[in-house]
Structure 1
Amino acid sequence: MTTIEEAVEIALEWSRSVFASTSSRRESIVAVDERCIGRVLAKDVKAHVPHPPFAASVMDGYAVNARETIEQTEEQNIEFTVLASEVSRAGPVSTGRLKRAMKALECAYVTTGAALPRGCDCVIPSEQCDVHSNGTVVFVERAALVAGKWTRVSGSDVAGQGETLVRRGEQLTVFDIGVLKYAVDEIAIFNRPRVRILSTGDELVASVRDVHDKFGCIIDTNSPMLGAMCMDSGSEVICRDVTQDDLERTTTFFRSALADEGCDALITSGGASVGDRDFIEAVITSLGGEIHFRRLAMKPGKPTTFATLSRSDGLPPLLVFALPGNPVSAAVTFSLVVAPCIQVLSGSISEPKLRRIHCVLNETLTLDPERPEYHRAVLEWNGATHPSLPIAHSTGRQISSRLLSMRGADVLVELPKGPGVVEKGAIASALVLSDFRRANFHMEKIATPKRDVGHAPFATFTTRNDARVYVLGANGRVLDLKRSVGLEENVRSSCRRSGSSNDVADVLSAPLSMYSNNEIHVAVTDDLPSQALFESIEKTAKRLRIAMSNTSITHRTFARVGLAGNPSDAYGGKVVAASISNFCAEAILTPMVASKRVSFVLGPYDANDYDSFDDMASHVSSHGVDGGVRLLKALCENVKRYCVETKQMIDFSCGFELSYASTIPEQLGLSGSSGIIIAALRCLMQHYGVKMSIDEQASIALRVEHDVGINAGPMDRVQQVYGGCMFMDFSCPKECDSSTLIVHGEYTRLNADLLPPMYLVWRGESASHSGKVHSGLKERWTNRHTNEDSEVAVSMGRLASLAEEIFELFKKGKKIDVNELADRMNENFQLRRTLMGDKVISEANLRMVRMCQEVGGGGAKLAGSGGSCVAVCKNEATAQALRRACTESGYAYEQLKFV
């Protein structure tokens, strides 16, 4: 039998192939209106002009020139002359009237939405104005004169030309309809995939009346239900029929679907098992179809088949989903297998699979000894009985013919196969069926901890209930954010964790990371969870580690950019750095449950076969002798050594296959090698149940790189294990409590939302090898106490000071000024240039940074050892100029997406 995970991937692969071969014929041009809701955009929509295209008032009142007025008078109650000729009301404005600029002590009446008269930078609401002399004089309190108050600048909603409003492949929401109107009246959308539905069975009748007339028959609930599910998933049902278990009739229906060039998929229910009246598989075989799987290891839904039928004239194959006849089985397999494929055929770029959350079971459930089961349940959120997770209530009898068990179901609770039961109160994973915005269960808001005032600028607490639940027991103190757990990427930016008890962190983070889809789920509550919750988590984690031991483990690590202070991290300095989701490294570990064998899959940096000697030499020059696999081998040796040092009794008898992939461009100073190491490390930790603190993970990664000859400081590894944006102080390293590894410094999490827009610019010719860049500097650092090389110590100290200064900007808790950031970035680069010399930095890197500084009008520095630079622009106009310059000069660029 095929696992459900394998089945979904097989079906999705074929669906992507069908869509790719027909996407050019799937587009339609439609007007932007309510009929577009739920459709998928076929082309990016970009803005042509800023919105609003003018500075506007957001209140009825009087527009003034606040800056000039404040400079001109010291009065507290200021008298303004009302200029009747400059009245501005919402609507068309004469361009001639806008030529005159408003001066100090002058004002004009404006209405909400009206264009501001020239020179005005503030609007005083009418209720704050004292009007005299028949409306010709207005008195205003000085405190009300604040530049920018009650106004919105041009481009405050949409920045301007070239800004992407909605991207190709996005499914349009009600809010997207409004956003699209900023730019266009018509859009290109993908046509809905077209499907045919067939219910088979001698016992089926279409009408309730027929049940009374024909004893032994039952109502066909499958075809109308599947039709509704198809429409809800975004497809168009072009034909829906019911037929008896008859080979000829079934074949005729299949031939009709095959002949219909506009039909993408055929969905059947019933007739797919092994009975003497089950003809679906025989029909597929007779028409030359290819069956990709025919039995699923799941309950309900075992007799599910997926096949493709070839077509002539270069047309893509017809996708055939043969679902079980029992209504619940058909509904569950449609939700898990068919719906994701329809989403792909619709052109959507969203994750097609059902979202997964975690919940607490309200009753004891019996496991199936042969197959994993998907138990239908309703969710309830009750803070009084369980403050951390939603509670799952079974919908009753789970027999596959009882469609009422699907009605009202919010989730499919995932139960592993095995003997025994899952006890009431256990934590289980569940796949979301319902739209939580419209579900009937009770969602109680989680109270966030009281913040420690001293750290308030760095603390952002968010609870998200749409896709995942994050659970944390912390007693309301944001005591030390550098102790935060290394959350995965989609949690890290929205939830921060810390606590007054390190024991709590250990109990929660270690077991949860073993089974929760490679994520650590954290929720913020007022009180510490009970010991019973800890025991429940531990018990569930152990059971699921065993039950799911043959599933692949995937972890991802993001690229890193240095914002200030580097390369002082390697010399006891201080740095500010951030993780970006533009690029990432990924490791996949597949357990070999019945084997001790360990296998490393050659990745993009590894090769044993070359087109020529020159090709081989070029590859070795770029990737090293052993490429990426050398990192994995060195990592495994270090993990085993660590387990011996820390006396962890780990059973290494279960082998594995370990592979890696990376989108991080090579030798651009973005921490590609450490990204692979950390992703693979977390796979090994999850596979073997190794307990390792986040600081020790950074130290292990650094030790691995030293073992393979990569010279680097600790910044990259620390940044990538913590994620987010960090201030790192490496002046006081110390030994770990439980091992011989080193905690390299003290770290504080920063709020990346305070940074202005920033860009990464790079080019292949600028690539730099970090080991070569740092080798000469290390020798000079060793001789820093001599007069000849005393400059290196002074420069390193100043680099660290630059990081501290930016740290202080973060502490203010408001948007960081572009000029203050740019000045420090430029000085950082100049110090690096002085330390290393132009020859080491290379002319290509110098040319790239100079272009970013000059064209962007702001700051730029190397993101790491070289090959790419991070830049901040003075304003949107200079940012556009930089983007054009990069395109003209052959540089690649992306706006940084901070994790």
Structure 2
Amino acid sequence: MLSVSDTQAVIFDLVQALDHQGETEVVDLLTATGRILACPVTSNLDFPHWDNSAMDGYAVRYSDVQNCSAEQPAILAIVESIPAGYQPKLTISQGQAARIFTGAVMPKGADTVVMQERTSQKENFVHILAAPQPQEFVRRKAAFYQAGTQLLPAGIKLNAAEIAVLAAAQCSQVSVYRRPIVAIFSTGDELVTLDQPLAPGQIVDSNGYALAALVRQSGAEPLMLGIVKDEPAALEKTIAEAIANADIVISSGGVSVGDYDYVEQILATLQAQIHIRAVAMRPGKPLTVATFPPKVPRGDNHQRVPVYFGLPGNPAAVLVTFLRFVQPAIKKLAGLAQGWEIEFVKVRSHKELRSDGKRETYVWGKLQVVNGVYEFSPAGGSHSSGNLINLAQTNALAVIPVGNTLISPGEEVEVSFNRG
């Protein structure tokens, strides 16, 4: 049985990112939100495109106003008004100023902007009532970005700010990594679909829905293969279909040591190499991770090795093992250059957290701000791995290390916030 850290290391070594040449697609910018940029982006535009004003006020020559004050204002003739989007026509000479608005192009001859609150206009003259700093409120051409240099690097997720930058750079289309395909199926004779009436001993396959949602939140496309009964032939057929069509395969249930747990047997039949069979964590001990002989992905000649995750059947164990191991693996595979590993922060525990200390223990609950301080509150009710109900409305996992049996209220605990 591997430790959690050793398990993480094995999985992250197995998962290789998509290739930036053969596993990309070009999408319109309006549909690129949440995608991973496959190639660096440069622009032939400077930002700002020209010297412009950062304030409503007056464009002046600093030498004309450097010694002025309210008692001895500099009095300048207003020779032009420059709104945003207007190209100045005149050059500012000694003793002159231009009325200028935020974002407008600086006129030739002017090197400083005086904000209007420090001025007084009288007919066609402006009185400068306070000396500005040299070049104050002037945004210089290329001060933010110089044309021809890298604007955005490959391997980043395109969120609102990145989309705005690309739009400003007139990039109507971008090259992004294709979304990884994740096959999902659930095993067990007791499982039924949600539209079926429940007979005694039967339960709805909620894991399939949870995993599909988690896969989408992670930036991948779920391939739903449904429920597989505890029959070796049916299981072998489903896994064979999954590895032929997906980059990652996730099953729930069937990976323990019961009489009807056939997953490991079928993996051996399909020539899989099993890397992990159990992890020293609670919940989530029965975790199977395997790889298969390489396959050739669509559209290129690069070999790709499908990775199989056999998750436990209990819903809390499915959530914990997915967030701890599978979600980072999907994000790495998807081409995210950094930030794909699970992150923990230390926060204050609102309530007592307990463990037997024998395995690394995960407690689900809420990370929230209480009196200006982040606190973790465990979900109410039983923390049995079979308790699906109190998983709802949780957003974080707290970890109790091996050997630690108690975290008292007010003590620090390491928490991972589920950002999706």
Q: What is the TM-score normalised by the length of structure 2?
A: 0.89
2:100 is matched with 110
1:197 matched to 2:180? The reply is no
Indicate if the aligned counterparts of 2:250 and 2:311 stay in contact, CA closer than 8 A.
yes
1:639 is matched with none
Distance in structure 2 (CA, Å) of the matches to 1:114 and 1:431: 48
Indicate if the aligned counterparts of 2:272 and 2:291 stay in contact, CA closer than 8 A.
yes
Task: Specify every segment of 5 or more residues in structure 1 that has no aligned partner in the other structure, as ranges.
Answer: 437-899
Distance in structure 1 (CA, Å) of the matches to 2:126 and 2:242: 78
1:348 matched to 2:343? The reply is no
Residue identity matched to 2:318? A
Rate the CA distance shift 1:71–1:427 in 2: closer, same or farther, 3 A: closer
1:434 is matched with 418
Cα deviation, 1:845-891, whole Å, max 9, x if unaligned, reads xxxxxxxxxxxxxxxxxxxxxxxxxxxxxxxxxxxxxxxxxxxxxxx
Rate the CA distance shift 1:122–1:366 in 2: closer, same or farther, 3 A: closer
Distance in structure 2 (CA, Å) of the matches to 1:423 and 1:343: 31
Residue identity matched to 2:161? F
Count matched residues.
414
1:31 matched to 2:28? The reply is yes
Rate the CA distance shift 1:395–1:48 in 2: closer, same or farther, 3 A: farther
Distance in structure 2 (CA, Å) of the matches to 1:333 and 1:225: 13
Indicate if the aligned counterparts of 1:91 and 1:114 stay in contact, CA closer than 8 A.
yes
For residue 425 of structure 1, the aligned residue among 365, 386, 409 is 409
Report deviation, 1:240: 3.9
1:296 is matched with 279
State the SS of the aligned residue for 1:87. strand
Rate the CA distance shift 1:113–1:362 in 2: closer, same or farther, 3 A: closer
For residue 55 of structure 1, the aligned residue among 26, 45, 51 is 51
2:261 is matched with 278
Distance in structure 2 (CA, Å) of the matches to 1:145 and 1:23: 50
Q: Percent identity, aligned pairs only?
A: 27
Rate the CA distance shift 1:70–1:276 in 2: closer, same or farther, 3 A: closer
Report deviation, 1:404: 2.5
Report deviation, 1:23: 3.8
Distance in structure 2 (CA, Å) of the matches to 1:73 and 1:401: 75
1:180 is matched with 166
Report deviation, 1:312: 5.1
1:390 is matched with 375
Indicate if the aligned counterparts of 1:192 and 1:234 stay in contact, CA closer than 8 A.
yes
State the SS of the aligned residue for 2:281. coil
Report deviation, 1:207: 1.4
Distance in structure 2 (CA, Å) of the matches to 1:272 and 1:138: 83
Distance in structure 2 (CA, Å) of the matches to 1:281 and 1:393: 34
1:529 is matched with none
Q: What aligned pairs does 1:445-464 form with structure 2 within 5 A after superposition?
A: none
Indicate if the aligned counterparts of 2:379 and 2:391 stay in contact, CA closer than 8 A.
no
Residue identity matched to 1:279? Y
1:119 matched to 2:109? The reply is yes
Cα deviation, 1:551-607, whole Å, max 9, x if unaligned, reads xxxxxxxxxxxxxxxxxxxxxxxxxxxxxxxxxxxxxxxxxxxxxxxxxxxxxxxxx
Distance in structure 2 (CA, Å) of the matches to 1:216 and 1:74: 87
Report deviation, 1:66: 2.7
Rate the CA distance shift 1:101–1:408 in 2: closer, same or farther, 3 A: same
Indicate if the aligned counterparts of 1:414 and 1:428 stay in contact, CA closer than 8 A.
no
Distance in structure 2 (CA, Å) of the matches to 1:64 and 1:348: 48
State the SS of the aligned residue for 2:21. helix
1:247 is matched with 232
1:66 is matched with 62
1:171 matched to 2:171? The reply is no
1:403 matched to 2:388? The reply is yes
Q: What is the TM-score normalised by the length of structure 1?
A: 0.43
Higher-Rg member (1/2):
1
Distance in structure 1 (CA, Å) of the matches to 2:69 and 2:324: 71
- RCO higher in structure (CA 8 A, sep ≥6): 2
Distance in structure 1 (CA, Å) of the matches to 2:288 and 2:326: 11
Residue identity matched to 1:107? A
Report runs of 4+ in structure 1 exceeding 6 Å deviation. 71-75
Distance in structure 2 (CA, Å) of the matches to 1:60 and 1:207: 61
1:479 is matched with none
Indicate if the aligned counterparts of 1:377 and 1:393 stay in contact, CA closer than 8 A.
yes
Supply the RMSD in Å over aligned alpha carbons.
Answer: 2.8
Distance in structure 1 (CA, Å) of the matches to 2:97 and 2:218: 56
Indicate if the aligned counterparts of 2:250 and 2:310 stay in contact, CA closer than 8 A.
yes
Distance in structure 1 (CA, Å) of the matches to 2:24 and 2:236: 32
Distance in structure 2 (CA, Å) of the matches to 1:46 and 1:416: 45
Rate the CA distance shift 1:57–1:376 in 2: closer, same or farther, 3 A: same
1:371 matched to 2:355? The reply is no
Cα deviation, 1:481-536, whole Å, max 9, x if unaligned, reads xxxxxxxxxxxxxxxxxxxxxxxxxxxxxxxxxxxxxxxxxxxxxxxxxxxxxxxx
Structure number having the greater helix percentage: 1
Distance in structure 1 (CA, Å) of the matches to 2:412 and 2:266: 40
Distance in structure 1 (CA, Å) of the matches to 2:20 and 2:9: 20
Residue identity matched to 2:229? Q
Distance in structure 2 (CA, Å) of the matches to 1:377 and 1:146: 52
Rate the CA distance shift 1:215–1:389 in 2: closer, same or farther, 3 A: closer
Report deviation, 1:154: 1.6
Distance in structure 1 (CA, Å) of the matches to 2:267 and 2:33: 36
Task: Specify every segment of 5 or more residues in structure 2 that has no aligned partner in the other structure, as ranges.
Answer: 297-301
Indicate if the aligned counterparts of 1:358 and 1:427 stay in contact, CA closer than 8 A.
no
2:3 is matched with 3
Residue identity matched to 2:108? R
Distance in structure 2 (CA, Å) of the matches to 1:89 and 1:266: 58
Indicate if the aligned counterparts of 1:382 and 1:391 stay in contact, CA closer than 8 A.
no
Report deviation, 1:153: 1.9
Indicate if the aligned counterparts of 2:363 and 2:378 stay in contact, CA closer than 8 A.
no
2:326 is matched with 338
State the SS of the aligned residue for 1:25. coil
Indicate if the aligned counterparts of 2:283 and 2:362 stay in contact, CA closer than 8 A.
yes
Residue identity matched to 1:77? P
Report deviation, 1:44: 1.7
State the SS of the aligned residue for 1:315. coil
Report deviation, 1:79: 2.8
Indicate if the aligned counterparts of 1:80 and 1:106 stay in contact, CA closer than 8 A.
yes
Distance in structure 2 (CA, Å) of the matches to 1:377 and 1:64: 59
State the SS of the aligned residue for 1:168. coil
Q: After superposing the two structures, state which structure 1 stretch, 398-407 or 360-369, moved more.
A: 360-369
Residue identity matched to 1:62? Y
Indicate if the aligned counterparts of 2:365 and 2:376 stay in contact, CA closer than 8 A.
no
1:89 matched to 2:83? The reply is yes
Rate the CA distance shift 1:188–1:371 in 2: closer, same or farther, 3 A: same
Rate the CA distance shift 1:74–1:332 in 2: closer, same or farther, 3 A: closer
Distance in structure 2 (CA, Å) of the matches to 1:389 and 1:112: 39
1:210 matched to 2:193? The reply is no
Residue identity matched to 2:205? D
Indicate if the aligned counterparts of 1:359 and 1:392 stay in contact, CA closer than 8 A.
no
Residue identity matched to 1:190? Y
Residue identity matched to 2:110? C
Indicate if the aligned counterparts of 2:277 and 2:287 stay in contact, CA closer than 8 A.
yes
Distance in structure 1 (CA, Å) of the matches to 2:82 and 2:49: 16
2:299 is matched with none
Indicate if the aligned counterparts of 1:411 and 1:430 stay in contact, CA closer than 8 A.
no
Cα deviation, 1:649-698, whole Å, max 9, x if unaligned, reads xxxxxxxxxxxxxxxxxxxxxxxxxxxxxxxxxxxxxxxxxxxxxxxxxx
State the SS of the aligned residue for 1:430. strand
State the SS of the aligned residue for 2:102. coil
Structure number having the greater strand percentage: 2
For residue 309 of structure 1, the aligned residue among 285, 292, 297 is 292
Indicate if the aligned counterparts of 2:376 and 2:398 stay in contact, CA closer than 8 A.
no
1:269 is matched with 252
Indicate if the aligned counterparts of 1:376 and 1:395 stay in contact, CA closer than 8 A.
no
Rate the CA distance shift 1:74–1:221 in 2: closer, same or farther, 3 A: closer
Residue identity matched to 1:323? L
Report deviation, 1:398: 0.8
Distance in structure 2 (CA, Å) of the matches to 1:13 and 1:326: 27
